[in-house]
């Protein structure tokens, strides 16, 4: 039993979701081919959207002042009558998040840690 508890303790320490300080400031990069409208963020699964104060133009970056104890977030951009959601974005220990979108591949992010 003692070995099992030791193993579980080590796993808990190694897990960034449990051990990390959470999400912090990052740069948001518009890696799509067009303009983004309103950009909002929500904890993954919460559906409580909070607008971001900065929206980068196509190919540009904008700093996001952010602090939260969680790591997993959804980012949504609305514009041109359409909304795109980047789901499950890990905002812990990242310098920048690049939003990418392709009509055939969907939406994804690239990270700079």
CATH number of residue 79's parent domain: 2.60.40.2890
Burial bucket for residue 28 (CB in 10 Å: 0-12, 13-18, 19+): buried
The answer to whether 20 touches 92, Cβ cutoff 8 Å, is: yes
Q: Is residue 7 in some structural domain? A: no
Q: How far is CA 110 from the centre of its chain?
A: 10
Give mean pLDDT in consecutive 10-residue pieces for the chain, a chain of 113 residues. Answer: 40 43 92 91 94 93 94 90 92 95 89 87
Q: Is residue 3 in some structural domain? A: no
Q: Is residue 2 in some structural domain? A: no
pLDDT given for residue 20 in this prediction: 57
Task: Give the domain range for residue 106.
Answer: 21-112
Tell me how many domains the chain contains: 1
Q: Is residue 1 in some structural domain? A: no
The answer to whether 48 touches 68, Cβ cutoff 8 Å, is: no
């Amino acid at each position: 039993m003692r070995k099992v508890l030791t193993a579980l303790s080590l796993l808990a320490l190694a897990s960034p979701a449990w051990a990390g300080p959470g999400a912090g400031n990052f740069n948001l990069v518009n890696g799509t081919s067009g303009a983004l409208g309103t950009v909002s963020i929500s904890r993954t699964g919460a559906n409580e959207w909070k607008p971001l104060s900065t929206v980068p133009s196509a190919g540009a970056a904008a700093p996001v002042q952010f602090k939260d104890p969680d790591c997993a977030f959804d980012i949504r951009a609305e514009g041109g009558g359409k909304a795109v959601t980047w789901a499950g974005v890990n905002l812990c220990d990242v310098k920048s998040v690049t939003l990418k979108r392709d009509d055939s591949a969907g939406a994804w992010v690239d990270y700079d840690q």
